[in-house]
Amino acid sequence: MCGLAGLVCPSENEAESARPAVEAALRCMRHRGPDESGTRRVDEVVFGFNRLAIIDIEHSHQPLTWGPPESPSRYTINFNGEIYNYLELRAELTEKYGAVFHTDGDTETIVAAYHYFGAAAITKLRGMFAFIIWDAERKMLFGGRDPFGIKPLYWAQGQLGVGFSSEKKILLELARTLAINPQMNVKGLQHYLTLQYVPEPASLHDQIFRVESGHSFTLVPGETPQFERYFPANFRVRTVRSEAEADALYDEITSALRDSVAKHMRADVTVGSFLSGGIDSTVVAALAKEHNPDLITFTTGFERQGFSEVDVAAESAALIGVKHVVRTVSAQEMMDSLPLITWYLDDPVADPALVPLWFIAREARQHVKVVLSGEGADELFGGYTIYREPLSLSAFEKVPGALRKAMGKVSTKIPHGVRGKDLLRRGALTLEERYYGNARIFLDDHLRQVLRTYDPNVSHMDVTAQPYRESSNWDPVTRMQHVDLFTWLRGDILVKADKMTMANSLELRVPFLDPEVFKIASQIPSELKITPDTTKFALRKAIRDIVPAHVLNRRKLGFPVPIRHWLKDEMHDWAVDVVRSSQTDQYLDKTAVLRLIEEHRSGVLDHSRRIWALLVFMIWHGIFVEDRIKPVVPEPHYPVKL
């Protein structure tokens, strides 16, 4: 787990000249790897690396050079992540091909697999990863990103080369070296205000992009990267005809999860686990306890009643038999920390839950270096309440198209806040029109009021069109899951998980997002995922003997943050100050924004999520565009609590 940087230049001389700039840029990514840092030039490529040592701590230094006996220095690799099946891969490569390894880590496994399997090696990796490999003989760079997008990888191309990095701020530091001049991505801003995040492959700077999840690429110096998708995330739903077949499926789920957690526990440092009040993190913690009897779990909450899962998590921890650590977050801490957290994010993500996640990650890092977490279970097993919407809207499917459109027009005449307005609006739309992920921040009518650069031709369907095309023959629930895998999961859930933990030099592992777990989850029929009474039905059946009863059938709380209340009271004046001091007038109508804040305070409408999205963008703009807000970034320092 680390932070990588790479610069592919047109010539060796240009690469050597760029090396000091790469070394200097690494300083803004120290939090991702405080254990070691360094650069190396190999031919036309400059490698930079910050290491957080987890496996084979004394060795496996990066950039790492490897090659077969006849050419031992052929390849150089920079790798961020963990390969959980590296022991099995090493054994296969040794026994079948005579591969020779010089370390006990997983990094050599990747490059050796590439040598013997070529680009197909990436499909054999079971883990989270972003890497670049330079082949000195072919004069070509090969790289890729894990299937689900757990680990980030940014890239930018200019006249003086192509840069890659684990964080966007590295490429902003290298803008002059690359001869690029990144500007605001206005289309990306509109998507952000709709979706709560900037969708891949874009970022909020127009010349900096992200390698998409499940993609690999090749690059020859002086040319443009050529990308190829290797993980389409196909759902192949099986038919379950009997109770015996259903039970067999539940057993397969249990087995896959147990195996995944076992492999995710592989480390040369202590592994802990996040623990909320839900079944996802609880089953992960319970299975992890089987491998570490001294497991420590961590949870966070708020002092406001109804906005905390602390008591439920504590009860689960007691029943599982683990030491438990709690961190409570206040409104003042949310306000004080948001600029620094936004700096760590690189791009705005308007998910309030990332703030308490940052605090509990900071607390956890004083006890452990690695934590497990439950991200991905909802997308794979059908855990979101919104997935039940096809059931609730089934009556609308029988209404003729013209009449449905008329119903939609009627909904526009109903005042905001009136019960049934949104149900009528959504019932009039097709699935492709109405569903674009779990977060729906600004609808068009509100967006027109606040966004000066509003473009009616920019639509969420620009983002969701491909996943919907690929899933046209699937049932509605599975199609919604498929959309979320390529939008919400990688745009929000995994971004906040990676950025907030790595901000504290803490490695987060997600056992649900494992190819073998996905292989089973993708076969579950919709009637065993969503029922009229519950979500994640098959998963609940599979883990009924692992998870405590008080959690198993508990309603999903979704880790709510009490910004609806705080923006009326404790946060009101702060929010107004953020808006008034922001220099975003060319993009936003600040008078309209202030009106939203006052309407929310008076209780006219709940604008809390819209206000939060605007505030996060304004703070982001103040840091990365105006250079007005300058968060004090602490040096990584982790005294361990005994």
* Structure confidence by residue, pLDDT tens digits, 33-88: 999 899 999 999 999 999 998 987 888 898 999 999 999 999 999 999 999 999 99
Pairing mode of beta strands 296-302, 323-329: parallel
Q: Does one domain contain both 78 and 116?
A: yes
* Annotated active-site residue in 2, 267, 288, 520: 2
401 in any annotated domain:
yes
Q: Does one domain contain both 73 and 160?
A: yes
Q: Does one domain contain both 514 and 543?
A: yes
What is the rounded average pLDDT of the residues 84-109?
96
Residue count of the chain: 642
Q: What are phi and psi of 45, to 5 degrees?
A: -115, 135
Q: Does one domain contain both 54 and 190?
A: yes
Catalytic residue status for 2: yes
> What is the Cα Rg of the chain in Å?
24
* Domain final residue pick, 419, 449, 479: 479
What confidence tens digit (pLDDT) does each residue in 481-507 have? 999 999 999 999 999 999 999 999 999
Identify the pLDDT of residue 1.
Answer: 64
Q: Does one domain contain both 440 and 330?
A: no
Distance CA 223, CA 567 (A): 50
Identify the pLDDT of residue 642.
Answer: 42
442 in any annotated domain:
yes
Which DSSP category does 60 fall into?
Answer: -
Of 47-56, 315-324, 394-403, 576-585, the poorest mean pLDDT is in: 394-403
Q: State the number of CA atoms in the 13 A half-sphere of 48 facing the CB.
A: 29
82 in any annotated domain:
yes
**pLDDT of residue 442 exceeding 50:** yes
Q: Does one domain contain both 117 and 198?
A: yes
129 in any annotated domain:
yes
Place of tokens 């690029």: 180
Amino acid type, 94: T
Q: Does one domain contain both 329 and 360?
A: yes
Q: Does one domain contain both 468 and 573?
A: no
**Average pLDDT taken over every residue of the chain:** 93
347 in any annotated domain:
yes
Q: What are phi and psi of 41, to 5 degrees?
A: -105, 130
Print the domain residue range for 349.
Answer: 243-383+486-552
Q: How confident is the model at residue 556 (pLDDT cuts 50, 70, 90)?
A: low
What is the rounded average pLDDT of the residues 244-249?
97
Identify the pLDDT of residue 33.
Answer: 93
374 is in an annotated binding site: yes
Q: Does one domain contain both 27 and 139?
A: yes
Pairing mode of beta strands 296-302, 271-274: parallel
Q: State the number of CA atoms in the 13 A half-sphere of 106 facing the CB.
A: 26
638 in any annotated domain:
no
106 is in an annotated binding site: yes
What is the rounded average pLDDT of the residues 292-317?
85
- Return left, alpha or beta for 324; rule: phi > 0 is left, psi -120 to 50 is alpha, else beta: beta
Can you name the residues that pair with 156 across neighbouring β-strands?
A: 163
Q: Does one domain contain both 38 and 11?
A: yes
CATH of the domain at 340: 3.40.50.620
Q: How many domains is the chain partitioned into structurally?
A: 4
* Domain final residue pick, 552, 579, 610: 552
From residue 323, alpha-carbon distances to 156, 292, 346 in Å are 45, 11, 34
443 in any annotated domain:
yes
* Domain final residue pick, 437, 455, 479: 479
Q: How confident is the model at residue 307 (pLDDT cuts 50, 70, 90)?
A: low
Distance CA 110, CA 129 (A): 10
Q: Does one domain contain both 36 and 184?
A: yes
Residues 6+ apart with CB under 8 A from 588: 450, 451, 452, 582, 614, 618
Which DSSP category does 636 fall into?
Answer: P
414 in any annotated domain:
yes
pTM: 0.95
Identify the pLDDT of residue 304.
Answer: 65
Identify the pLDDT of residue 639.
Answer: 58
Q: Does one domain contain both 343 and 263?
A: yes
Identify the pLDDT of residue 277.
Answer: 84
Of residues 225 and 415, more confidence is placed in: 225
CATH of the domain at 101: 3.60.20.10
